[in-house]
Amino acid sequence: MSTSVLIFVVEDNHLIQQLLDDTLTDGGYVVRAASTGEEAIAVLDEIGPDLQALITDVDLVPGKLTGWDVARHAREMTADLPVIYITGASGHEWASKGVPKSLLMNKPFAPAQVVTAVSQLINARTSQIGDD
C-alpha cells in the first residue's frame, strides 16, 4: 500500500489480538491495539481522524466499557468510520447495540475473513466519499 491505513484493534484476549495484528500487518495495514474499553477510548481520543477502521471485541471486561461503547465513541468522532465487531457470544445484540453499517464476525473466524471485511468496508467508504 502506498499510504498507511491505520486499523484499531480492541481485543482483551492477547492471542486473538496478536493474531489480528499479524494478519492485518501482513495485509499491508498499520495496526494499533488496546485491551480494554477504557484504553480504547483514550487511544481513539488520541488518534482521532487518522483512524481508517475499528475492529472491536464486544465483550471486553465484564462490568466495564464494551465494544458497543467503543464503537459508539468512535462513530461520534468519525460518523462513517468502518466498524467490525467480533464476538463469541453477543452477536444476538448486534441489531440493537451495534452502530449502523457495521459488520459482525462470530468467533472463531478465519484470519483472512478479517482482512477481507476491512478491505470491503474501507473501499465502500472511499467510494461513498468519491460520490459526494
109 part of a folded domain: yes
Please choose, from the candidates 59, 45, 49, the residue with its C-alpha nearest in 3D space to the C-alpha of residue 11: 59
Please, what's the largest Cα pairwise distance for the chain?
A: 42
33-88 pLDDT, tens digit each: 999 999 999 999 999 889 999 999 999 976 689 999 999 999 999 999 999 999 98
Say which CATH number the domain at 84 has. Answer: 3.40.50.2300
Give the rounded distance of the alpha carbon of 129 from its chain centre.
20
Phi, psi of 57 (to 5 degrees): -65, 145
Would you state the pLDDT for residue 126? 76
pLDDT value for 49: 85
Rounded Cα–Cα distance for residues 4 and 36 (Å): 25
**Would you state the pLDDT for residue 1?**
39
Q: Region 4-15: what's the mean pLDDT?
A: 95
CA atoms in the 13 A half-sphere facing the CB of 28:
7
Find the helix or strand (DSSP H, E) in which 6 lies. strand 6-10
Q: What is the domain count for the chain?
A: 1
Q: Evaluate whether residue 93 is within a structural domain.
A: yes
Reported as half-sphere exposure (CB side, CA atoms, 13 A), residue 109 has a value of 22
Q: What is the pLDDT of residue 63?
A: 62
Q: Which domain holds residue 41?
A: 6-131
Residue 67 lies in a domain: yes
Mean pLDDT of all residues belonging to the chain? 91
Is the pLDDT score of 130 beyond 80? Answer: no
Q: Minimum mean pLDDT among 21-35, 56-70, 118-132: which range?
A: 118-132
Domain assignment of residue 1, yes or no: no
Burial degree of 36 (CB within 10 A; 0-12, 13-18, 19+): middle
